[in-house]
Amino acid sequence: MTVHWLDLSAPPHLPALYAQAAAKRKITGSTLPEQGLRCWVDIDTQALAAFRDVCAIAPNPLLPPTYPHVLAFGLQMQLLTDKDFPFPLLGLIHLTNRIRVLRPMGGVTRLRIGVFVHNLQKHPKGATFDVVTQVDDQLGPLWEAESTLLCKGVDLPSEVPATPTFSPLALTELTRWYAPSNIGRRYARVSGDYNPIHLSAASAKLFGLPSAIAHGLWLKARALAALNAHLPAANVEISVAFKKPVRLPSEVILLSSDAGSSGDFQLNGHGDLVHLIGQWRPIS
């Protein structure tokens, strides 16, 4: 697709966007907008340090591989609450996330973030689409990502596409950690993502959940922090599929294959509960 870019002079103001998200509750169409949003963003060292703390990421001269999502969140919010976007933001379900670190993300102080949506497809429960994020520094493309989101209740005429599968490598337990009841509020403060399903049991129950659930991207960031010694610093694609949500509070268990250019990992609860499956591969 051809993206028609709108360049912004400053990142969007989140409180106004949350008001727009709360006001829109209905599906208004089945066509995605072709306009994308771009903006230059400065790295705030204090905000970055706070993100590292919440995600248990050790100090490192490189940006954490999931941190560009935080920098892009305001642009994504503006795109998904625009009047031309057909689906209500509240209620969208994050199914998968894939990031590609193209070059080592060190010595970075300013980045150009671009976001757009595409790839609308039929799903057994509605329709899915991808939110694409592209990040450049002064030298060119640095990082990119795709998040696949599900909107229930959308009726598209096309066929449901086949679901890709992969066979994981042998996994062993690497570590485990406790996700406390307040981690949703803590991650919201560093990411800007104040979705009510993550904040408290009371706010989650308004959306039909028995308790608050952890942010999917916090789980990915926390897992990648633990996997840091296993992962290449660049030329790597890291994909995850979100399965059963992590109800807060609870303990989670990280399983992983050995370090190398390719590998697999999985985040489990107790018993047979699988929260997340993931893999890293070289960018071909």
Q: What is the CATH number of the domain that holds 186?
A: 3.10.129.10
DSSP helix/strand/coil, 77: helix
Q: 86-139 pLDDT, tens per residue?
A: 999 988 999 999 999 999 999 999 999 999 999 999 999 999 999 999 999 999
Q: Which of 133, 164, 195 is the last residue of a domain?
A: 164
The answer to whether residues 245 and 199 belong to one domain is: yes
The answer to whether residues 159 and 177 belong to one domain is: no
233 within 8 A of 226, measured Cβ to Cβ: no
The answer to whether residues 145 and 188 belong to one domain is: no
The answer to whether residues 84 and 188 belong to one domain is: no
The answer to whether residues 141 and 216 belong to one domain is: no
Q: How far apart are CA 136 and CA 114, in angstroms?
A: 8
pTM of the model: 0.94
- Which residues form the domain of 273? 166-284
Q: How far apart are CA 115 and CA 133, in angstroms?
A: 5
A 10 A CB-CB count for 131 gives 23
Q: How far apart are CA 74 and CA 102, in angstroms?
A: 23
Which 8-state DSSP code applies to residue 97? E
Question: For position 162, what pLDDT does the model report?
Answer: 72
The answer to whether residues 277 and 180 belong to one domain is: yes
Q: Which of 107, 140, 164 is the last residue of a domain?
A: 164
The answer to whether residues 137 and 178 belong to one domain is: no
Question: For position 168, what pLDDT does the model report?
Answer: 65
The answer to whether residues 100 and 201 belong to one domain is: no
The answer to whether residues 9 and 124 belong to one domain is: yes
The answer to whether residues 127 and 208 belong to one domain is: no
* Rg of the chain in Å (alpha carbons): 18
Question: For position 57, what pLDDT does the model report?
Answer: 97
Question: For position 65, what pLDDT does the model report?
Answer: 97
Q: Position of tokens 């989670």?
A: 252
Amino acid at 228: N
Q: Which of 101, 136, 164 is the last residue of a domain?
A: 164
Q: 60-83 pLDDT, tens per residue?
A: 999 999 999 999 999 999 999 999
Quote the number of domains for the chain. 2
The answer to whether residues 146 and 172 belong to one domain is: no
Q: Which tokens belong to 123? A: 């799903």
Q: Which residues of the chain have pLDDT under 70?
A: 164-168
The answer to whether residues 206 and 127 belong to one domain is: no
